[in-house]
A and B are shown apart, each in its own frame.
Chain A
Amino acid sequence: MDNSSQKPVAAVENSYAVALEWVSTIGVIACLAAYLFYIFDLLPLSVSVRTISEHWGISADEAAAKGVVLTGWEWIEHLPNADMLSLASIALLTITPMICLAVASMAFLKLKDHAYTIISILQIIVLLIAVSGFFSR
């Protein structure tokens, strides 16, 4: 098999890696900072830590029915409460691959690698569908 395409692909991987490093570092720092605000009560909370701990033994559905946890994108409305900031920081961490894929798809497109540009875009669409909650309704 011809391995002549190795160098440009390594360039794509490099751009993915750089994006990954930056976004995941920001995500982790955001998680830790938001968590400190959360547990030390430095900002108002939507649901107290005590209430959460009293209900963490019941299922998410039951907790949602009691109003202990928020479902869908409802949590956005409760920003910048500290617990929702923590959730937002987790959300940021989870979209890291999506941002990296966007960078990679541009790099593939620059190389006129249409198959992998399409695969990257399809992957982003799948992740966007998951984020949208289309399947979770």
Chain B
Amino acid sequence: MKLMASGLFVLAVTLPSIAQAQELAASEPTVWWVWVLMLFIFSFFLGIIAVIAGVGGGVLFVPIVSSFFPFHIDYVRAGGLLVALSGALSAGSPLLKKGMANLRLGLPMALLGSLSSIFGALVGLAMPSSLVQLALGIVIMGIAVLMIMSKNSTVIQQIQPDYLSQVLQISGLYYDTTLKQDVTWNIHRTAMGSVLFVLIGFIGGMFGLGAGFANVPVFNLLMGVPLKVAVATSGLVLSINGSAAIWVYLLKGAVLPLIVIPAVAGMMAGSRIGAWLLPRFHPKWIRIVVISILVLAGVRSMLKGLGV
């Protein structure tokens, strides 16, 4: 409970600041720097929470910022994609060097996901913003349910590889620091996983979500990829998908550097602190806090979409 209180403390610091910023901005509508500063501080704390909870930044960033900040959802979705992209980029190199992120596994999925993420972004930008906000709320609630229901498998299974994975030579070897031994792995249900990555890419592009929340269970639970490899390779897929979708937003004028760069900087700084704090927090309690935030943000987003 003490640890959960710590997580709630982080939120308690951030949310009143947003409320104060709203008051200040209401009295003086052009105090732009207050919002920018609040966004940086908020993204910083979000970065800490996201790392400890093991979720991507985008999935928390988009529903909360679109619900509580004055920015139109077009700019928030672009910001969400960039936040997720920069997080994945900064974590990518060490994970690749350690053999955790696997290109043979990630590239075919990213190829499908990036194509669908472009179409997702186009559809999202063409839809009325109230409908996007409503659909986002529903998706966020769905993610919260997924987080409650899914229990990623930490058991490394011996899998009989399927035909497609053998053709693509998708298999791997990494050193597991917990087990203190080399672990070899294979995958199965490659075709079904590929179809799901098309869907995940579409949703990620449409709502500006990082989609790590969906990549990891598909890799781990469906395809039998060890959890550590699934998490690391998810970042690789996410960075490629995000890179494709963000250009749709950028060329439509939906990338505002004024708000995107502080969000990215805050999230990256917070992620480093989060990684340092990680051993000191119990992920279970942080997960509960994150699920609570998602439910709150999902409900707020749906209400905003309905004009309530």
Contacts and interface: CB of A to CB of B under 8 A. Distances in A.
Contacts of B92: 17, 20, 24
A96 B245 CA distance: 14
Contact of B89 (A10, A20, A39): A20
Nearest to A136: B251
Nearest to A19: B93
Given A57-B70, A94-B246, A130-B248, A86 B261 contact: yes
Contacts of A94: 82, 85, 242-243, 246-247, 250
B54 interface: no
Nearest to B254: A60
B264 to A, nearest CB: 7
Interface in A8-40: 9-10, 12-14, 16-18, 20-21, 24, 27-28, 31-32, 34-35, 38-39
Interface in A115-137: 115-116, 119-120, 122-123, 126-127, 129-131, 133, 135-136
Q: Is the interface of B mostly helix, strand, loop or mixed?
A: helix
A87 B172 CA distance: 38
B1 interface: no
B256 A52 contact: yes
B252 A61 contact: yes
Interface string B108-145: 10110011001100100100010000000000000000
Nearest to A96: B89
Interface of B: 29-30, 32-33, 35-36, 70-72, 74-75, 82, 85-86, 89-90, 92-94, 96-97, 99, 101-104, 107-108, 110-111, 114-115, 118-119, 122, 125, 129, 161, 166-169, 171-173, 184, 186, 239-240, 242-262, 264-265, 268
Interface of A: 1-3, 5-6, 9-10, 12-14, 16-18, 20-21, 24, 27-28, 31-32, 34-35, 38-39, 49-50, 52-54, 56-61, 63-64, 69-73, 83, 86-87, 89-91, 93-98, 101, 104, 115-116, 119-120, 122-123, 126-127, 129-131, 133, 135-136
